[in-house]
């Protein structure tokens, strides 16, 4: 499976797993505190005030008891940077000095040339930056817009000169034309058949994904082109609906303040940052997408929408609002006078005006309630019904029941109707939330109350934790043939983890540890998170006796369940007149009952094999 200029082989993936330091990866995104053999801190994946994030360096795993995310260092890198699996492997390999295939090896792997898109994009960025230094016209334009030199450098601004083949001639043949085309930098003329630059006489904005990888460009015309802005066309790396301009520079500030400022354009981002507001990001020239809203929710708890003050900006805000609300984000609306945006307001009235407008941003839902329920609505039944329908559409996306109910009460008071009536407009979404009852204490092992599903899962996780958390004590584990078969684990994920453990035990002749089992589990999010939870949380039992007793409980539980199943199967065989099957089932039931009443040791697996 190729990734740009890298072949993603199982050997490379395993080398990364062996080399990566999960504590170092986690420390890039949160402050960790040593707690015994583990580390803990605030979760870098979701916003929290009380630490629930734990890292086990010995097992190479993390788990958050708040949001339920878990996995190894590769998974943590993916969740905190936005990289997909191939990009994570490449980034971590480069970080830890793991040799990657050479360009020649990658380019002809499998007999098929491969494209170095990142190399083409980086070379183009260097070319555009150099051309900006040489262009007095482009530099004067930036000076008129009062863009400081340090922000020009930070955002990597450049210039694509006039002419149809400047970039092509500068980069080819060092970079193949096929790579330049695949990176969205050049195109072929249908009429003449020659190559031409897609960006000409434009100020260039490099566009990065959340982890900082260059994926494309945006270009603003400095002439009279009808298209004011042009982006890189969609490529293997550039999907504008999945990207937010400036996120790679803003994400640290957004995490620390829990707030993002969402603007409409590239200059709005840079202008907002010039005002001292670092957490600014923008869409890619189109309406906000669900994927962009979800990306924001990974870093922020609240979004200040700082779109233009004209009717187009208002319409864009109203389209974005339900997407942001549905991802659990608090939303505020910054208002700018006239048709100003953050950058034009900065140029006309100064930086303080922008800071004041964003600082005074109002609750977006309350503002929309004001618009949907004008004064006097409660005295006009037709207006009441119309406004109630609009309120229902507004509040329905809010996932938090308490928050949704609070807004519904405000709306119901203004409409002059009971909140329950408004609730019916939302399909029950605005009804009074149920008061949460505190959970019953979980039963403890050995109390005789092992039948409930909570403890069933805890007992299975306990056994797996003891089996896998052996560092110097593997000799105390039972031999492979003394372990029960996988069916005694009723939880599917626990059973799959146990099967991987047993398979490796049989292959190697010695018990595997967590790092050995992890690669056998694949990349499924559910099972990897569950595995991490088991290893990070630890186990109840300790020592050989505790483990054997726990295994016996699993076996006895399975026997009881199987006896119940056999009772029904025997009755069904009797009803059908299948006496041979009835007798076989009855014999199985008798064996299981005898082994159950005799006690599990010795012969703990009797009746299972």
CB 280 within 8 A of CB 246: yes
The answer, yes or no, to whether residue 374 has pLDDT greater than 80, is yes
The answer, yes or no, to whether residue 8 has pLDDT greater than 80, is no
Which has the higher per-residue pLDDT, 56 or 277? 277
Residue 369: pLDDT band by 50, 70, 90 thresholds?
very high
Quote the distance between the C-alpha of residue 320 and its chain's center: 20
The predicted model gives 156-165 an average pLDDT of 95
CB 197 within 8 A of CB 185: yes
35-44 confidence digits (pLDDT tens): 877 889 999 9
CB 132 within 8 A of CB 161: no
Q: Which residues contact 341 (CB under 8 A, 6 or more apart)?
A: 263, 264, 265, 268, 306, 307, 308, 309, 313
- The pLDDT value recorded for residue 446 is 36
The predicted model gives 166-187 an average pLDDT of 91
The answer, yes or no, to whether residue 458 has pLDDT greater than 80, is no
Give percent of the chain above pLDDT 70.
86
Give percent of the chain above pLDDT 90.
44
Question: Which helix (H) or strand (E) segment is 262 a member of?
Answer: strand 259-263
104-144 confidence digits (pLDDT tens): 444 444 444 456 788 899 999 999 999 999 999 999 999 99
In the block, tokens 């301009």 appear at 245
Question: How close are the terminal C-alpha atoms of the chain, in Å?
Answer: 41
The predicted model gives 452-460 an average pLDDT of 54
State the pairing for strand pair 195-197/70-72.
Answer: unpaired
The answer, yes or no, to whether residue 540 has pLDDT greater than 60, is no
> Whole-number mean pLDDT of the chain?
84
388-425 confidence digits (pLDDT tens): 999 999 999 998 889 999 999 999 999 999 998 888 77
- The pLDDT value recorded for residue 138 is 97
The predicted model gives 419-438 an average pLDDT of 63
The answer, yes or no, to whether residue 216 has pLDDT greater than 90, is yes
Residue 455 φ/ψ, nearest 5 degrees: -75, -30
Burial of 453 (0-12, 13-18, 19+ CB in 10 A): exposed
**Could you tell me which of 48, 93, 52 has the C-alpha nearest to residue 73?**
93
The answer, yes or no, to whether residue 438 has pLDDT greater than 80, is no
CA distance linking residue 60 with residue 557, whole number of Å: 32
Q: Which residues pair with 203 in a beta bridge?
A: 159, 220
The predicted model gives 312-333 an average pLDDT of 94
The predicted model gives 507-515 an average pLDDT of 81
466-480 confidence digits (pLDDT tens): 888 754 455 567 888
């Amino acid at each position: 499976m190729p990734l740009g200029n890298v072949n993603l082989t199982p050997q490379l993936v395993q080398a990364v797993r062996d080399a990566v330091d999960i504590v170092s990866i986690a420390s890039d995104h949160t402050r960790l505190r040593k707690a015994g053999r583990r580390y803990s801190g605030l979760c870098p994946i979701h916003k929290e005030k009380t630490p629930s994030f734990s890292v086990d360096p010995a097992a190479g795993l993390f788990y958050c008891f708040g949001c339920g995310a878990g996995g190894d260092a590769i998974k943590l890198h993916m969740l905190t940077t936005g990289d997909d699996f191939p990009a994570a492997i490449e980034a971590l390999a480069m970080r830890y000095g793991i040799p990657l295939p050479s360009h020649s090896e990658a380019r002809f792997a499998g007999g098929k040339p491969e494209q170095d898109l990142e190399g083409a994009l980086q070379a183009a960025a260097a070319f555009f930056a150099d051309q900006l230094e040489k262009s007095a016209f482009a530099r004067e334009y930036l000076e008129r817009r009062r863009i400081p030199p340090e922000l020009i450098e930070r955002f990597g601004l450049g210039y694509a000169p006039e002419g149809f083949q400047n970039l092509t001639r500068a980069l080819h043949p060092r970079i193949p034309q096929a790579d330049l085309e695949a990176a969205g930098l050049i195109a072929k003329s249908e009429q003449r058949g020659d190559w031409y630059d897609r960006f000409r006489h434009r100020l260039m904005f490099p566009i990065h994904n959340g982890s900082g990888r260059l994926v494309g460009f945006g270009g603003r015309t400095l002439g009279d082109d009808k298209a004011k802005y042009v982006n890189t066309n969609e490529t293997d790396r550039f999907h504008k609906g999945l990207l937010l301009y400036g996120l790679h520079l803003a994400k640290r500030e957004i995490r620390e303040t829990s707030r993002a400022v969402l603007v409409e354009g590239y200059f709005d981002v840079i202008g907002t940052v010039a005002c001292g507001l670092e957490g600014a990001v923008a869409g890619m020239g189109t309406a906000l997408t669900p994927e962009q809203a979800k990306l924001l929710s990974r870093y922020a708890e609240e979004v200040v929408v700082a779109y233009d003050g004209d009717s187009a900006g208002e319409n864009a805000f109203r389209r974005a609002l339900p997407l942001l609300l549905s991802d659990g984000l608090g939303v505020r609306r910054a208002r700018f006078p006239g048709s100003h945006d953050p950058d034009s307001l900065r140029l006309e009235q100064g930086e303080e005006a922008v800071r004041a407008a964003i600082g005074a941003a109002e609750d977006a839902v309350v503002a929309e309630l004001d618009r949907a329920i004008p004064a006097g609505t409660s005295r006009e039944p037709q207006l009441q019904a119309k406004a109630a329908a609009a309120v229902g559409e507004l509040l329905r996306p809010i996932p938090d029941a308490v928050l949704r109910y609070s807004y519904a009460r405000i709306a119901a008071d203004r409409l002059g109707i009971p909140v329950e009536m408004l609730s019916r407009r939302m399909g029950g979404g605005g009804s009074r939330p149920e008061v949460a009852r505190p959970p019953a204490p979980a039963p403890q092992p050995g109390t005789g109350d092992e039948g409930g599903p909570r403890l069933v899962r805890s007992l299975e996780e306990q056994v797996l934790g003891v089996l896998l958390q052996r560092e110097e004590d593997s000799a105390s584990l039972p031999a492979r043939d003394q372990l029960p078969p996988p069916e005694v684990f009723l939880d599917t994920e626990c059973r799959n983890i146990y099967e991987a453990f047993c398979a490796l035990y049989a292959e190697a002749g010695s018990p595997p540890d967590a790092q050995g089992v992890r690669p056998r589990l694949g990349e499924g999010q559910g099972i990897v998170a569950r595995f991490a939870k088991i290893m990070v949380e630890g186990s109840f039992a300790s020592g050989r006796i505790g483990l054997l007793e726990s295994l016996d409980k699993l076996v006895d539980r399975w026997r009881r369940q199987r006896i119940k199943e056999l009772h029904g199967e025997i009755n069904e065989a009797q009803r059908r007149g299948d006496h041979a099957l009835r007798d076989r089932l009855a014999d199985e039931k008798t064996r299981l009952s005898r082994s159950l009443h005799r006690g599990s040791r010795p012969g703990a697996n009797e009746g299972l094999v």
